[in-house]
């Protein structure tokens, strides 16, 4: 009886976790809009990482989990620079360079396409024809959402930054699954966040004024982004990666642009036209297709 109940609980968690992940991941773009009112991009990210590293240090000291070997430490550093450093820097720079919050999630939303291709090539995961159909449908949905958007000037730099975030989150997710799957999430996360903090801190000192306008909005936003996003949501992402195929987990990112755009509509009055809404529906259908068509 207990085994049945435990199995039912695990099944329920497995079904709810992707929904929670999409909702929380989407709030990262919303929180970025608020936090940039108080600091420049790299300065804000450095403060965020300092808080995350401090929290993870307490957790590691209290729990005393097993530390990875030298190779594991190296792999964690690489994964951290990709997922925690470059990806976050790209998304924050996109918002800072006038890319609307509701659209800042779109380019990283192409991640499932790259992940499916690379996973089939380097991780030996078989992608079925029906899954490729889902990938194509998701791409079409993203293109519909992008129609008529400015791609030059300051916004052009923002889209370029989004492109960097797309590449780094794709490669970082696959790298994490390939080389860091056996590392305890607490020590792995601490190493990753520490590596990202050092990289972002150097960038902030070299490129920015480091002025911070402390306010309740800034502090609350940083705390949310550090605790809920950098610790909770990233930990949930790695939990999903250990239990599902890379292409299946990556397909969840198709939902992020739609959810982010809806949040931005409510909070910032960013408008959604009919074509964009159709594109979001296509993205949602693509997620269902990719997930249900697992080999």
Interval 115-152: pLDDT, tens: 776 766 666 667 778 878 887 887 888 788 777 666 66
DSSP code of residue 80: I
Interval 182-237: pLDDT, tens: 888 889 999 999 999 999 999 999 999 999 999 999 999 999 999 998 888 877 87
Residue 16: pLDDT band by 50, 70, 90 thresholds? confident
| Annotated domain spans of the chain | 21-292
Tell me the average pLDDT across 60-81.
94
Which tokens hold the place of 263? 């949040």
- Nearest one of 225, 176, 292, 249 to 26, comparing CA atoms: 225
Residue with tokens 């435990």: 6
In terms of Cβ atoms closer than 10 Å to its own Cβ (0-12, 13-18, 19+), residue 211 is exposed
pLDDT of residue 53: 96
Interval 269-288: pLDDT, tens: 877 778 878 887 887 787 77
Interval 235-271: pLDDT, tens: 787 788 777 766 677 777 777 877 888 888 888 887 7
- Nearest one of 70, 283, 270, 80 to 192, comparing CA atoms: 80
pLDDT of residue 252: 77
- The two counts, helices (H) then strands (E), for the chain are 14, 0
Percent of the chain having pLDDT more than 90? 35
pLDDT of residue 1: 47
Residue 294: pLDDT band by 50, 70, 90 thresholds? low
């Amino acid at each position: 009886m207990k085994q049945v109940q435990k199995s039912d609980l695990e099944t329920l968690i497995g079904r709810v976790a992707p929904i929670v992940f999409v909702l929380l991941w989407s709030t990262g773009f919303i929180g970025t809009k608020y936090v940039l009112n108080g600091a420049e991009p790299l300065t804000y990210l450095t403060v965020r990482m300092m808080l995350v590293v401090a929290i993870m240090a307490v957790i590691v000291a209290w729990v005393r989990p097993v530390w990875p070997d030298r190779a594991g430490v190296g792999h964690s550093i690489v994964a951290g620079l990709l997922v925690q450093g470059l990806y976050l820097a790209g998304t924050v720079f996109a918002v800072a360079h006038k890319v609307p919050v509701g659209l800042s999630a779109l380019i990283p939303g192409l991640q499932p396409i790259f992940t499916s291709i690379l996973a089939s090539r380097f991780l030996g995961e078989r992608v079925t024809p029906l899954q490729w159909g889902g990938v194509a449908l998701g791409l079409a949905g993203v293109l519909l959402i992008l129609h008529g958007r400015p791609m030059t000037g300051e916004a052009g730099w923002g889209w370029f930054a989004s492109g960097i975030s797309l590449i780094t989150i794709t490669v970082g997710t696959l790298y994490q699954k390939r080389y860091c799957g056996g590392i305890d999430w607490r020590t792995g996360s601490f190493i990753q966040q520490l590596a990202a903090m050092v990289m972002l801190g150097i960038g902030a000192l070299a490129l920015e004024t480091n002025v911070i306008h402390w306010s309740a909005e800034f502090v609350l936003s940083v705390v949310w982004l550090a605790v809920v996003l950098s610790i909770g949501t990233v930990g949930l992402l790695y939990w999903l990666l250990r239990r599902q195929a890379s292409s299946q987990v990556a397909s969840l990112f198709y939902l992020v642009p739609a959810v982010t755009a809806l949040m931005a509509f409510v909070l910032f009055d960013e408008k959604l036209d009919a074509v964009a809404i159709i594109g979001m529906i296509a993205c949602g259908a693509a997620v269902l297709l990719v997930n249900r068509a697992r080999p």
